[in-house]
Chain A
């Protein structure tokens, strides 16, 4: 199972918005509405930010939003803040009863 494709890095200034893409195939992102996004600070446990493409767990800021079109899902962070600086991973359920992760995107707040 090939990893989902994400941009290696995205950067923006505080207060701006960024969008991270996550491209898969008709075996995963394109078929299932089961895309999740995780925020990962190295050395810490990843944190769930978005699940089922658009849903936010309680406690996650509404500055984080998710969407999907065809084989590509997206995570948008609006009003970028310094503590948003982290690695972000998408993941999708697959037709093989497991999950496939994205390649990861490092978000830098300038």
Chain B
């Protein structure tokens, strides 16, 4: 079955950097687009970024654009999120999630189907 396991979270100071990883199994990783989504403490879900199945396109939420970079290594079935210039507002549980297809809408269908449980990132001095 589809499994997504995030790692790399922790405590980081404001202005610092962190790289998250998401190990995928149970499906053909290279055929699917992948997303990062986060949830701040006591808040709702927030979409962060998407990378297409072939890494040809990457899109970001406005509040992380220029600071976060999504990437993938299909040889390792792993998704990454490089986070730079972190602020306390970036404190959240970060989850990776699988797109229903390649990361783009396919005519009559567009959704995220499976999620990991997430890894906590705390930005604090």
A93:B105 contact, CB within 8 angstroms: yes
Q: How far is the CB of A22 from chain B (nearest CB, A)?
A: 12
Q: A96-B59, A99-B47, A102-B44 are in contact. Are A45 and B109 (CB under 8 A)?
A: no
Partner of B111, one of A1, A44, A48: A48
Contact with A along B112-125 (1 / 0, CB 8 A): 11111110000000
Q: How far is the CB of A109 from chain B (nearest CB, A)?
A: 21
Task: Verify if A3 is at the interface (C-beta below 8 Å from B).
Answer: yes
List residues of chain A with CB within 8 A of the CB of B109. Answer: 34, 51-52
Contact with A along B82-110 (1 / 0, CB 8 A): 00000000000001000010000100111
Main secondary structure of the interface of A (DSSP, over half): loop
State how many residues of chain B have any CB contact under 8 Å with chain A. Answer: 28
List residues of chain A with CB within 8 A of the CB of B37. Answer: 101
List residues of chain B with CB within 8 A of the CB of A24. Answer: none
Q: A89-B44, A101-B46 are in contact. Are A36 and B112 (CB under 8 A)?
A: yes
Write the residues of chain A forming the contact surface with B, with a CB cutoff of 8 angstroms: 1, 3, 32-34, 36, 38, 40, 43-46, 48, 51-52, 57, 89, 91, 93, 96-104
Write the residues of chain B forming the contact surface with A, with a CB cutoff of 8 angstroms: 4, 35, 37, 44-47, 49-50, 57, 59-62, 95, 100, 105, 108-118
